Structure 1
């Protein structure tokens, strides 16, 4: 399903820094953009919107559509390959694809294994992808943490990469910069349905542990390329899933102390705000998206 703005609602793309400053890069009352990545050269953001892929120069201007072919409408799960030229994408048909930012035809990676595949991370060496599998696209079922070879093949159709992180729902797996850990959000540490918390597990499947215990619902942890910082999105207590159009906050922490935020940015958003890793290659800035409603006022 392609998301659209509500009447009077805006889409705002923001860039924030580890010095706790933030600036509005782009605002639209037409297209709803989601889930920014940062290109390897530091020059642009990559977002999805209207089922398509777009680039947006970090110095400003209008988004430019990437002319993809051979792929259905996109959802908001996409990550750039470490080579800076390729990009891995989840589409609304439940499959993961690889494409190039120059617009050449996309190639499907995942096979018809009975699951929907929602991509979230690529290993630092580009050889492996981390995704969440939803059995038969039935969203009443918990997501399973999986990895596959980035070139697809047999590993995409069997549970070779399945991790034991409990039977509860998990989502948002992203690799640490050293490739040793997968960071994710999971309901395995709570007794209340929907109470997602931040955790990590080693890529060999061992060492599953909680990294932050809180009374809020916390999703999508993403580490900076230098490993010093992390961002995540904080939903209100009692939230189930990661819905759109809620009062949420983007949180910046030091990876030395996840319990003490360096800064928080309250906003109206949720789905689409911070689904994928949005750090700049120099680890000094990150991007997120807000969706202020018609009755909001700018401070």
Structure 2
């Protein structure tokens, strides 16, 4: 498997390859200073400088089973990871942006991080506390968690709008996976997509105008890798989506927030089978 770290430019419609790697790499974040991407692979976290692209290992202490649900605080001072080293199932931790020993946030597992509120105070994540995965939030320092959804068969991928007024996520009901948005207190849940595609991982743009997401073909179960998928863009207030790119990917392509700080570009992964 070859992993391609790529950057899509909205103005030109071009998707350029930053670096191609002969190993499995997933889920690029774009740092708030605009200088680098953060990715994961083989249970570790890496920094990729845009001016000199190569994998630079980030020290994460005992956490060596990091999955592709990781991110960066709005001020760029902290990283957040989802790691299963301690319990065998994913828990959420924070650590300094330069690397260091992780501090546990969620005592309960499984918990998978996906969004950081614009004010830097709250984390949004998907977690299984009963029969199904729902959306939860908690303070970045830990403490009691708040359940935001409760009547879906499965939820994933929560990400905040830049004004903090909404949390977008993908929610499954009766076998249909659509994009939804909900207020941070759990109110006013609104379905934002329809149709046959299986829609995952919505990411509102920094200017608040659009939402980037991953679309699988009808009938896809879960969010597998190694599939023919589309990256789509839709207006934040709803409406017709636009297909930006068709690619081979899925799991690992845009699991986490991936927009450049100025909103002109976004990072993503595509793959080439051996």
TM-score of the superposition, structure 1-length normalised? Answer: 0.86
What residue number does 1:4 align with? none
2:9 corresponds to which of 17, 22, 46:
17
1:241-263: CA deviation from partner (whole Å, max 9, x where unpaired): 101111111112332554131x4
The corresponding residue for 1:3 is none
Match 2:252 to one of 272, 278, 294: 272
Q: Would the aligned equivalents of 2:228 and 2:248 in 1 still touch at CA under 8 Å?
A: yes
Of 133, 136, 139, 1:143 maps to 133
Tell me, what secondary structure is at the counterpart of 1:42?
coil
Q: Which residue of 2 aligns with 1:288?
A: 268
Q: Residue 131 in 1 paired to residue 125 in 2?
A: yes
Answer yes or no: is 1:67 the counterpart of 2:59.
yes
TM-score, length of structure 2 as denominator length: 0.94
Q: Residue 162 in 1 paired to residue 147 in 2?
A: yes
Q: Deviations over 1:77-105 (max 9, x none)?
A: 01211120201110123110001121121
RMSD: 1.5
Decide which of 67, 71, 75 is 1:83's aligned counterpart.
75
Equivalent pairs counted in the alignment come to 269
Deviation per CA, 1:169-215: give whole Å up to 9, x if none.
11101111111111000013xx3x2x210110011211101111121
Q: How do residues 190-209 of structure 1 correspond to structure 2 at under 5 angstroms?
A: 191=174, 193=175, 195-209=176-190
Output the CA distance in 1 between the equivalents of 2:226 and 2:41: 16
Asked if structure 2 preserves the Cα contact closer than 8 Å seen for 1:246 and 1:268, the reply is yes
Q: From the two aligned structures, give the one with the greater strand fraction.
A: 2
Could you list the runs of 5+ residues in structure 1 that have no partner in the other structure?
1-8, 295-299
Partner of 2:206: 225
Q: CA deviation at 1:125?
A: 0.7
**Structure 2, unaligned stretches of length 5 or more?**
none
Q: Is the 8 A contact 1:71 1:97 kept in 2?
A: no
Contact 1:25–1:60 (CA under 8 A) maintained in structure 2 = no
